[in-house]
Structure 1
Amino acid sequence: MSSVRVERRFQGPAKSGNGGYVAGLVGVALAARLGTGEVPQVTLRVPPPLETDLELVADAVVRLLDGEQLVATGAPVPADLLADATVEPVSFEEAAAAESAYRGLGKHPFPGCFVCGPANPTGLQLKPGPLGDGRTACTWVPAADLAPGGVVDPVHVWAALDCPSGWAIDLEGRPSVLGQLTVGIDAQPRAGEECVVLGQLLSEDGRKTLTASTLYDSDGRVLARARATWILVDPALFN
């Protein structure tokens, strides 16, 4: 058992932690326990509280607890689940051009989001703009404070894979929060490396939307990929 705390910097909505970052806390704890051919899948049960001491418990599964309240669970799933999660790449220059159309710059349901919030100066400041074919793209040059020893902490890789696929959803018509994230990391980028993150809409089913995202390095090599389930919500309940 270990204690973790989601600082205000890592918020998603104003009242809770960023889903990708919190899922990463659980997923990284689980990754050390995985067998061959497995990847971690994390399900968020309630909005993760900010500025609160939480317990990370690893037994048959990994659980994140706020007292007796279950915040998130992590369990191994077959790596084949990510077979369709590789989003076709674009160049760093094409991704930078897409950022000018990032809809979150004008109207963002959660402007303080650690990953993509324009009002969070200490966040990743990703700007996933639409490519016009169901994909989004943005650049990411990881800051040194995210990379102890020069290599980006995998928790921040989880976070970076979160919002780019969320913006493949019509977030004005379908404001959504992350419900589940499955991530496979092949390699971690280095501080200052020019990376590209892409997201893609896969399907919609009632209040749920399924998306994929992929992180590429400067040579166009896949570093990590993810599948996400998003849940339609009333943003006022989270802000």
Structure 2
Amino acid sequence: MIIARRFRGPPQSGNGGYSCGMTARELAGPCEVTLRAPPPLDRELSVARRGPGVVVRDGEAVIAEAAPAEVAIEVPAPVTLAQAEEASKRYPWFDTHPFPECFVCGHKRAQGDGLRILPGAVEGRQVAAAPFTIDASICGADGLLRPEVVWAALDCPSWYGMLCFHPWEGQALLGRLAVRIIARPRASDRCVCMGWFLGQEGRKIHAGSAIHSASGELFAFAKATWIRLKPEAPADH
């Protein structure tokens, strides 16, 4: 498998959610992917079955591991499209984003190139949300949003579900993502992505995320584990 530069998170590595989604393509049904190292860009990575799951390697180095898993998480009531549009105006990283060209939440990516999912706090609720319009370039031949991009769209909103309500100045990277896809939106559909904080254990941050249609239909949901980086640790390799 190859992670193209378009799908970067940090400048020199793949967006975590997209990379997890590429890994998960080998498995059917809900699964969990653990990232072991920053996924390199524009390089052939090997994918091999291991028991019921798969492992992705860059040479001998393990990049990601995936296995079937149930996604045990309660999804909050959906946010309306109007609420998401208003919340996105409160996106907290317009001036301080460490990776402003992230495929998912980078505000310096052009519409149609990046996803431009820019979540902000929803007034009166403990969730962050943003609108998401499905571009044809990220859909398959069937006209549906590609599964790996569903994973990507569930990645960053989970982080903002924490950040919007528990501000923090350091950096963190996605460590693990478990996703269940119920259905996939079509090209040109307008959707709502939302995220919410679940808790923290040491440097591990747990958060949830979901994608709904504009009418409130649940397309997919996820549970994410983020790892806060130590001050001396690089966020990119």
- Scaled by the length of structure 1, what TM-score is found? 0.90
1:100 counterpart letter in structure 2:
K
Pick which of 15-24 and 58-67 moved more: 58-67
Q: Does 1:27 align with 2:37?
A: no
1:112-158 CA distance string (max 9 Å, x none): 11000112222101111112543100011110011123111111000
Pick which of 129-138 and 177-186 moved more: 129-138
Q: Which one of the candidate residues 7, 10, 15 is aligned to 1:13?
A: 10
* CA distance in structure 2 between the partners assigned to 1:14 and 1:159 by the alignment: 16
Q: Which one of the candidate residues 76, 85, 91 is aligned to 2:68?
A: 76
Q: Does 1:179 align with 2:175?
A: yes
Higher share of residues assigned helix: 1
Q: Which one of the candidate residues 204, 224, 227 is aligned to 2:223?
A: 227
Contact in 2 for aligned 1:128/1:164 (Cα 8 Å): yes
User: What SS does structure 2 have at the residue aligned with 1:62?
Assistant: strand
1:173-218 CA distance string (max 9 Å, x none): 3421100000000000001111101100010111000000011012
Contact in 2 for aligned 1:5/1:53 (Cα 8 Å): yes
Contact in 1 for aligned 2:83/2:122 (Cα 8 Å): no
Q: Which runs of 5+ in 2 are unaligned?
A: none
Shift of 1:235: 8.8
Q: Does 1:135 align with 2:124?
A: no
Question: Residue 105 and residue 236 in structure 1: after superposition, are their counterparts in 2 closer, same or farther (change >3 A)?
Answer: farther
Quote the residue 2:57 is aligned against: 65
Quote the residue 1:115 is aligned against: 104
Shift of 1:71: 0.2
* 1:156-171 → structure 2 map (5 Å cutoff): 156-170=149-163
1:97 counterpart letter in structure 2:
E
The number of aligned residues is 227
RMSD: 1.6
Q: Which runs of 5+ in 1 are unaligned?
A: none
1:156 counterpart letter in structure 2:
V
* CA distance in structure 2 between the partners assigned to 1:83 and 1:210 by the alignment: 11
Contact in 2 for aligned 1:200/1:213 (Cα 8 Å): yes
Contact in 1 for aligned 2:87/2:122 (Cα 8 Å): yes
Identical-residue share of aligned pairs (%): 38
* CA distance in structure 2 between the partners assigned to 1:98 and 1:131 by the alignment: 5
Quote the residue 1:237 is aligned against: 234
Contact in 1 for aligned 2:48/2:56 (Cα 8 Å): yes
* CA distance in structure 2 between the partners assigned to 1:186 and 1:12 by the alignment: 25
* CA distance in structure 2 between the partners assigned to 1:104 and 1:57 by the alignment: 38
Quote the residue 2:136 is aligned against: 144
Contact in 2 for aligned 1:210/1:227 (Cα 8 Å): yes
Quote the residue 1:207 is aligned against: 203
User: What SS does structure 2 have at the residue aligned with 1:160?
Assistant: helix
Shift of 1:19: 0.2
Question: Residue 175 and residue 134 in structure 1: after superposition, are their counterparts in 2 closer, same or farther (change >3 A)?
Answer: farther
Contact in 1 for aligned 2:25/2:148 (Cα 8 Å): yes
